[in-house]
Amino acid sequence: MKIHIALIDFVRREWLLVTSATGTLLTSLYLHHVPAISRTEWEVLFLLFALFVVVNGIERSGLATRLSQRLEQGSAVPLKLVLSSFLLSMFITNDVALVLVVPLTLALDVPRKDWLVILEALAVNAGSALSPIGNPQNLYIYWFYDLSIETFLRSIAPFSLFFLIVLAALALGLRMRAEPKPAARTVRIQRSAWVYLTGLVLLVLVVLHVLPLFAAAVVVGAVMLFDHRALRIDYALLFIFLFFFGLADNLQTVLSAQIAHSDHVFLFSALSSQFISNVPATVLFARFTQDWPALLWGVNVGGFGSLFGSLANLIAYRFYIARTTTNDAVRFTWRFLLAGYLAFGVAIGWYFLVQAWG
């Protein structure tokens, strides 16, 4: 009985892992085909592993907590939190940025925390789009298509900067009178923070093709010797990527026609992200098109909308539902979806306007 309950709990908690593994297995059996994982995809997996380890080390060092405490001080709290979410997501990924900012938001003694969490979720999806390491789909596209940083930024900047302005204006309009709780004990920053920051800089240089991939291996090796507890990361997410790589290879053998029109690439990748999340959508569509700008826009726009569009959406939603004391889960869900799909629709319209002007 206990094993049965534990299995149900595992499936409920790791449904994306179970779904990706099942899909890969079934398509492999149907096609009598063993999926091939390319060298580029193995490199992407290793880079994600290294980034997860270093970011985990930064969290453990106390540096992230100290930064969060500083954000709480002073005026214009909503604007600071939204801008911080946007900027942090560019360097420590959209998921980790929410893990840092949302708990701080929920600890504040202010009204309208639901709208503030929603704005933060939108901000990390928009901000992470502006960086090759901001989210996993960007890292995959940047590495898979062997892009330069200038080309990458020139393509996606109109999307991110447009939503930066919109979200900053909404945050300014979200008036709330903060009554902060007694100041928390100042967290001591450990010396390891600077080691991990150095590692993060080295990994960024690897992603930007300034340093060879071997440098990432050196960073991971140093962490294993320095603090093996930083290796306690979300390995399930890495396996999800691995299974989706295999599933995408299987589907490629079935779908032989290439999606040629950029509008189709953009719309199909954005819409499919609403159901299977933007990361697996990236892996799938990258196999069928060389039109990476349309794919880059599509999967980042696809981060808006449903709770499944981006894993960051699920993180923000679960944090609020689990920690808030207002018991407004239904209202929050409707507001989250309303804001998400409004941003999704605006982003689609903005894409076609940018294409028309270009």
What tens digit of pLDDT does each residue of 2-17 get?
676 777 777 766 776 8
Q: Is the pLDDT of residue 279 over 90?
A: no
Per-residue pLDDT, 147: 93
Percent of the chain whose predicted confidence (pLDDT) is above 90: 31
Across the range 61-84, mean pLDDT stands at 76
pTM greater than 0.85:
no
Per-residue pLDDT, 67: 67
Higher pLDDT residue, 19 or 9? 19
How is 232-293 classified by DSSP, letter by letter?
---HHHHHHHHHHHHHHHHHHHH--S----HHHHHHHHHHHHHHH-HHHHHHHHHTT-S-HH
**Residue 169 phi, psi dihedral angles, 5° rounding:** -65, -40
Across the range 125-154, mean pLDDT stands at 93
Higher pLDDT residue, 65 or 55? 55
DSSP H helices in 61-148:
63-71, 77-92, 94-107, 113-128, 136-144
Across the range 166-184, mean pLDDT stands at 72
Across the range 165-179, mean pLDDT stands at 80
Contact 298, 273 (CB under 8 A): yes
pLDDT digit string, tens, across residues 85-137: 999 899 878 877 887 788 778 766 667 788 999 999 999 999 999 999 899 89
Per-residue pLDDT, 35: 87
pLDDT digit string, tens, across residues 219-272: 999 888 888 888 888 788 788 778 878 877 787 666 555 555 667 889 989 998
Q: Assign 3-state DSSP to the chain and report helix, strand, coil percentages, each to 5.
A: 75, 0, 25
The CA–CA distances, whole Å, from 311 to 16, 280, 328 equal 10, 11, 22
Burial of residue 94 (CB within 10 Å: 0-12, 13-18, 19+) is buried
pLDDT digit string, tens, across residues 326-354: 567 788 889 999 999 999 999 999 999 99
